[in-house]
Amino acid sequence: MLMLLRNLFPPKLCNGTRLKVISLHRHTVEAEILTGCGVGKAVFIPRIPLIPHNFPFQFKRVQFPVSVCFAMTINKSQGQTLKVAGVDLRTSCFSHWHLYVACSRVTSPDSFKILAAESQTTNVVYREVL
């Protein structure tokens, strides 16, 4: 499974769209859309030029705007519906909202697992912000 990292052809191919690889080619990836408004459609993902700006010199490289999707951040999962999910809480969530979003992505509690040190997590509240 892949996750698209750039908006290519909104609304069908947007940042965060999950894709299943059908075949790999030299200049394109053939994939099936798994989420969003184009579910089930076959698409070709081209290589695109990327110019990093965090170096003292400029260069251009061409790469596929995808990442292997074996894990995603809580922010990236917002708006997604997942059949199975697991959350690693060995490091505490940033806020109540993050924990809520992580727990509400799965359709059934039976397909949701939490990994927490000593079977508990810390409720992080920054009182100076409140």
Residue-wise pLDDT tens digits, 76-94: 777 778 888 888 888 777 6
Residue 121 confidence (pLDDT) above 80: no
pTM of the complete model beyond 0.85 = no
The pLDDT value given to residue 94: 67
pLDDT score at 25? 94
- Of 71 and 59, more confident: 59
Mean pLDDT of the chain: 86
Show the tokens assigned to 84: 């199975």
Measured distance CA(97)–CA(7) in Å, rounded: 26
Question: Nearest-CA neighbor of 71 among 93, 88, 83?
Answer: 88
Distances (CA, A) of 29 to 2, 7, 41: 10, 16, 14
Q: What is the arithmetic mean of pLDDT over 44-51?
A: 91
CA distance 63 to 77: 24
